[in-house]
Amino acid sequence: MSLQLFGHPFSSYTWKVLIALWADETPFEFRMLGPDHPENGDELRRRWSFGQFPLLVDDDRSVAEATCIIEHLRAHHPGPNRWIPDGELGRRVRFLDRVFDLRVMANMQAVVFDALRPAEHRNPADRSIARERLRTAYDWLEVNLNQSPWAIGEQFTLADCAAAPSLFYADWVEEIDQRYPQLKAYRARLLAHPVVARAVDEARAYRPFFPLGAPDRD
Ligand SMILES: N[C@@H](CCC(=O)N[C@@H](CS)C(=O)NCC(=O)O)C(=O)O
């Protein structure tokens, strides 16, 4: 068996998969993307023409999309964590995974990507819509994410793998302030989880590249 993960330590979706791999203690080779490793970028684009990451290579099979990668790992390289439980709880996990990816991560990324554009191509109106949508997501999560310690209760699942990077970076874009005590506390619990803390630490060196300026916290 040979598992390789193409990604970057500062990338939110790479974290999502790293958290699952590390929590299961699954051995893999990390194929770092970036200017020092052009061969990894070339292979990523050869295998997944969209060029987005993370990408898992299992022997010679390429698996894209963070959620699908975690489902693949559970099916073919299972560890102690049951990332998607059966039945109603599993459906709740899948739903929350979509909420974190589509309502939190996507709006966080929209603001970050806009800031990465040359000044003349930036769009303040789109950015303010994305921030407003982030606040709508926080409002919804504050009321509906009422389990503890994790998204569905005692079990750490795919929903928490999605929540950790999305809430980590969303807070840097649009602060999760005192209006959201439950959500803030959930984010703090996630950041205290050993594998999430590892992802945060391994990304620390790249903070100067955060286009909006990384806040002095976390
Ligand atoms: N839907 C994809 C999204 C992956 C994604 O947005 N990855 C970002 C890094 S966090 C990326 O590839 N950015 C570079 C690009 O879009 O070209 C997933 O769930 O894996």
Alpha-carbon span 17 to 65, nearest angstrom: 9
pLDDT digits (tens, 9 = 90+) for 114-171: 999 999 999 999 999 999 999 999 999 999 998 899 999 999 999 999 999 999 999 9
**Residue 13 near ligand 1, beta carbon < 6 Å:** yes
Residue whose CB lies within 8 A of the most ligand 1 atoms, among 52, 69, 70, 108, for a mutation test:
52
Q: Which helix (H) or strand (E) holds 30?
A: strand 29-32
pLDDT digits (tens, 9 = 90+) for 73-129: 999 999 999 999 999 999 999 999 999 999 999 999 999 999 999 999 999 999 999
Return all residues near 161 (Cβ < 8 A) that are at least 6 apart. Answer: 16, 17, 19, 20, 66, 70, 83, 97
Across 129-149, b (16+ Cβ under 10 Å) vs e yields ebbebbeebbeebbeebebee
Q: Is the pTM of this model over 0.85?
A: yes
Instruction: State whether the Cα torsion 77-78-79-85 is positive or negative.
Output: positive
Q: How far is the CA of 67 from the centre of ligand 1 (A)?
A: 12
Work out whether strand 3-7 and strand 55-58 pair parallel, antiparallel, or are unpaired: antiparallel
Residue whose CB lies within 8 A of the most ligand 1 atoms, among 18, 44, 53, 104, for a mutation test:
53
Question: What mean pLDDT value characterizes the chain?
Answer: 97
Atom of ligand 1 nearest to the CA of 67: 19
